[in-house]
Amino acid sequence: MTEQHYPVLSPIKTGIRGRCPGCGQGSIFQGYLNLAPRCTVCGLDLSFADPADGPAFFVMSIVSFPVVAFAGWLEIQHQPPIWVHLITSLPMLLGGCLALLRPLKGWIVSSQYVHKAEEGRLVQAKEQ
């Protein structure tokens, strides 16, 4: 089997679309958020990818500010009952998180590939 070489692709373009960071064609997802074991097109092993809680943290940080600002404005201006918040603020929060989570996870995985990110290791000092 000959190893194919692909040009370096933009992690933003491939990640947001959920495409393979190696070839830009296959999907890195198997389901909504589960990472596939390998690319179906080029066979790139995706076991290197470990986004951990990074995507969730960034999504919560990005989405929470406008939603909390809206909920605060709504409360101060109109003082609605709690059910109004449940039908306005809660769907905004859930929808925003679900809409951003997959693209952000794809971007982080693609960035890990492009920048050859790996787990840190301690370096042993040589005895002199």
Tell me the mean pLDDT per 10 residues along the chain, length 128: 70 95 94 94 92 94 96 97 96 97 96 87 74
Quick one: pLDDT at residue 127? Answer: 64
Place of tokens 């990818």: 49
Instruction: Indicate the burial class of 5 (C-beta count within 10 angstroms; 0-12, 13-18, 19 or more).
Output: exposed
The most distant pair of C-alpha atoms in the chain lies apart, rounded to whole Å, by 73
- pLDDT confidence of residue 114: 92
Instruction: State which H helix or E strand residue 56 sits in.
Output: helix 54-78
Task: Give the predicted TM-score (pTM) of the model.
Answer: 0.84
